[in-house]
Structure 1
Amino acid sequence: MRRSRITAYVASLLLAVGGALTGAAAAQASPTAAVTGYVALGDSYSSGVGADSYISSSGDCLRSTKSYPYLWAAAHSPSSFAFTACSGARTGDVLANQLAPLNSSTGLVSISIGGNDAGFADVMTTCVLQSDSGCLSRIATAKAYVDSTLPGQLDTVYSTISAKAPAAHVVVLGYPRFYKLGATCLGLSDTKRAAINGAADYLDSAIAKRAADHGFTFGDVRTTFTGHELCSGSAWLHSLNLLNITESYHPTAAGHSGGYLPVFTGAA
């Protein structure tokens, strides 16, 4: 009789533990399980500029079927997929033009934004055309903007996303470092390359902090792009291309499939 009671107790304990573990697993799986609709927001690093295979109906937004949002949607078949990311977008453009698909049934949102607000294109133009000191001065101006103005702009975008899609799991994607340092490479000086990489780190840190403060997940692509920067011999980024200036310093198709997609998939 005593053994029977012990056996029953052990069985009930194991059942309780099993139930708790099952509940924990279900809780951990909830972000993926909750995904009904997926909305991809952001700038050119999300629309897929540089990856080619552009969707004709996307016009100047240059949305690509080889971009990480499109690849993720093709692999996971969400119940709906709205792709509003657009080349050249700033935070104000996201607010004005990209948020219409968000609603209470949106389960997943991805976004990369902030680089254009901080003057990414002008930084690269200045560093290509001017001296080391001119490049460093322009980067210092960009960093000052990241400190003083960008956090508030990101807060507005992130708060609006949460208000419009309160059930969504939001993944904020960062930007890669551009150059492999210490390698023999034609073009910019080592001083400029190091400064540009430092600026990318500075921007990513600011974006990651704002994302965390809003309860969003930050996807750090610097890890996956390591070894595939410009001057690495296996670059996943376009260098300066005077024949197609828009694609300059943007991820290639391999950068989306090998650099951005794994990070997003892991975070989603």
Structure 2
Amino acid sequence: MRRFRLTAFMTSFLFAAGLALTGATNAQAAATGYVALGDSYSSGVGSGSYTSESGDCKRSTKAYPALWAAAHSPSSFKFTACSGARTGDVISGQLAPLGTGTGLVSISIGGNDAGFADVMTTCVLQSEATCLNRINTARAYVTSTLPANLDKVYDAIRAKAPAAHVVVIGYPRFYKLSGSCIAGLSENERSAINSASDLLNTTIAKRVADHGFTFGDVRSAFTGHEICSGDSWLHSVNWTNIGESYHPTAAGQSGGYLPVFTSNA
């Protein structure tokens, strides 16, 4: 009987200690500041509900950084991601909120450097041969030039926020091959665009690992929700708001990006 009471006491003690440690960890996480950097995939272009103060940067209350901050209540939340941003724009215009009190940073960047918008415009408006040639040019840039530009961004983030956990978010594949689309790009073009997205993600992930950051791969999350899937979380060509074309919808932010970021934050 005495042994039973001792065992019960130790079990209760360890359980209470575990709760205390968990509570302390959660409190510590909530006490750190969160800064969201990057391009249109982080600002939330395509999801609507853009804040008036963000202007052409089109930061959305439905973007994954805003959704995460609303759910987790960090001690501070600074949202500087901007539509159209390239690596140089992040360095020159987005890093001011970073500091020693920054505990968490998110960023998606690299797609605009590689000419994402021009690739898609070329493929929609011109021939298959011209499209494939433009994709190959983008692939060459991603292989030869983008890594050094990413290094500059990641080095700048680490210098300004030495204690931060940095999560770099990737890009989805755009198309479900052999899917429901009966018009638009050819299957060769769709396959080449997907392959270029894979190369971009692989390149980013390598630089992320070399800097000791965390890569959030969204491709699996978007599987079954690509364009031509019948349940797309990505806009195709949006003729009424062309800037939203090929960007995640609100469902893509909440169902694709947010869970991936949350699991890596």
TM-score higher than 0.5: yes
Q: Does 1:242 align with 2:236?
A: no
The corresponding residue for 2:117 is: 121
Corresponding residue for 1:227? 224
Consecutive unaligned residues in structure 1, runs of 5 or more: 1-6
Q: What is the Cα deviation at residue 202 of structure 1? A: 0.5
Shift of 1:70: 0.2
Q: d(CA) in 2 for partners of 1:260 and 1:248?
A: 17
For 2:139 and 2:94, locate their aligned partners in 1 and report how far apart those are by CA, in whole Å: 26
Name the counterpart of 2:264.
267
Q: Name the residue aligned to 1:3.
A: none
> For residues 113 and 26 of structure 2, what CA distance do their matches in structure 1 show?
34
Q: Secondary structure at the match of 1:172?
A: strand
Asked if the contact 2:30–2:74 (Cα under 8 Å) also holds between the matched residues in 1, the reply is no
Residue 136 (structure 1) shift: 1.1
Q: TM-score, normalised by structure 2?
A: 0.90
Mapped to 1, the partners of 2:32 and 2:137 lie a distance apart of 42
Counterpart mapping for 1:210-225 below 5 A: 210-225=207-222
SS of 2:106 mapped into structure 1: strand
Cα offset, 1:184, TM superposition: 3.3
Conserved in 2, the CA contact under 8 Å of 1:34 and 1:107? Answer: no
Number of positions where the alignment pairs a residue of Structure 1 with one of Structure 2: 251
CA distance in 1, matches of 2:189, 2:39: 24
Report the counterpart of residue 257 of structure 1 in structure 2: 254
The answer to whether residue 150 in structure 2 is matched with residue 150 in structure 1 is no
Asked if 2 retains the 8 angstrom alpha-carbon contact of 1:31 and 1:169, the reply is no
Deviation, 1:134, is 1.0
Matches within 5 A, 1:1-80: 33=29, 36-80=32-76
Of 195, 198, 206, 2:195 maps to 198
Unaligned segments of structure 2, at least 5 residues:
none
Distance in 2 of aligned mates of 1:218 and 1:140 = 25
SS in 1 for 2:176: coil
Distance 1:152 1:135 in 2: 26
Cα deviation code 1:213-253 (max 9, x no counterpart): 00000000001100000000100000101211100000000
Q: Output the aligned Cα RMSD.
A: 2.1
Partner letter of residue 195 of structure 2? G
CA distance in 1, matches of 2:71, 2:26: 19
Quote the offset at 1:31 in angstroms.
11
Partner of 2:206: 209
Q: Map Cα deviations across residues 139-197 of structure 1 (whole Å, 9 max, x no partner).
A: 11101101111000000000010000000000000000000001131211100000000
CA distance in 2, matches of 1:168, 1:65: 23
Residues 1:249 and 1:32: Cα distance change in structure 2 (over 3 Å):
farther
1:132: how far off?
1.6
Q: Does 1:174 find its partner at 2:178?
A: no
The sequence identity of aligned pairs, in percent, is 72
| Superimposed CA distance per residue, residues 75-105 of structure 1 (whole angstroms, 9 cap, x where no aligned partner) | 0000000000000000010001000000000
In structure 2, distance between residues paired with 1:56 and 1:176: 28
Alpha carbons of 1:189 and 1:105: their partners in 2 closer, same or farther (altered >3 Å)? same
